[in-house]
Structure 1
Amino acid sequence: VAEYNFNEGTLDYKPVVPLPDLVELLTGEEKELVVFSHRAKLYRYDRESQQWKERGIGELKILQDHERRRARLVMRRKQVLKLCANHWITANMKLEPIKASEKAWTWSALDFADGDGSVQTLAVRFRLQETADAFKKCFEEAAVTAELQDMSAKFSSELSKLKFEKLLLQICRNLFLLELKHMNTELRDLSTEL
């Protein structure tokens, strides 16, 4: 609704309906580093119909967690921003080229885009070969990083086991020495009595 002020020659606009306060939308990506981000088309392989089904067009991102250095792949549909891919990139994931296109890759993942995690075979297609190659490089680097983290965690676990075993051996040794000392004392006491 507009009102004209004749004295000042101005027009005042008043809203017909009051608007709610602006709410900041948090996506969960705020604390992650964007390693890769490009527009792409994502497909999901439907096992029942034995064909690829389009899952969405949008910005495909590889994000890296600052603390744990783990990477995940996230894609939201353009305009509606609904998730169409959301999964960790793990050590056992392998990108395979799609024979029909050199600008497309496929892989399998435990995907959480629909809420509950389910194993999906996904494919992504980019407009340019350079973008597809950059995606492959970032994806494979993330998989190698995941493998190194797995090895590090396993090594750390083994190291903890060894430290625990060493501690147990030290405790057993100390108990043995204490028992030996106690036996020596008893032998001395016994020999003085004789």
Structure 2
Amino acid sequence: MNYHDNHDNHDNHDQNTPIWDDKTAEWYAAEFGDHISNALTIKNAKLKQDEYLLEIGCGSGSACREAAKIITEGTIIGMDPTPAMIRIATENTPSSIVQLEYLLGAAENIPIENDSKTICIAINSLHHWNDYKKGLAEILRVLKPRGRLIISDEIVSGDSCGHSEGPLSKPTLVIEEIKRAGLVNVKLETFEEDGDGIYLFRAEKS
């Protein structure tokens, strides 16, 4: 059973619900907060010290804290639509990581100014967005010119990703949607570690 299978079967939780209750958030953070996909993504994101990074769907903040080891001269914002997740992420983040803050918000309506981020990252979250087309449009809005988008998703059975169904069930479909949103230089790579793997999609704002 993979990461997404475990997640989907928990209390028959409806993935179309953007805000989880405290119990579900605590369970998710305990089970998957430090999932290898977070470290794998940050390790291969080619981050610079002076990035202005936004993570969409930051969960418990694991990837943001990993990014803070590299981004020492810029800023990091971890955004999540669930208040309980923001609380958990804040509690798990040492106050010494001054370049990192957490923000309540959803991909479809990012509460950040235009052309302000050098990189946006979404780890195992794209398939949870209520409207991925609006989310990708919002990312395009907040990215600086030549800003980068990194989307990573766990490799599940065969060549599937996400929930293995729907318009984002295959890497080729994800690539098509990223291009359709207006991003350019779209590339796909795969990375593996300790038996787990991710699809990593790279794209840029022109």
Name the TM-score, length of structure 1 as normaliser.
Answer: 0.22
Structure number with greater CO (CA < 8 Å, separation at least 6) is 2
Q: Which has the larger radius of gyration?
A: 1
More strand by proportion, 1 or 2? 1
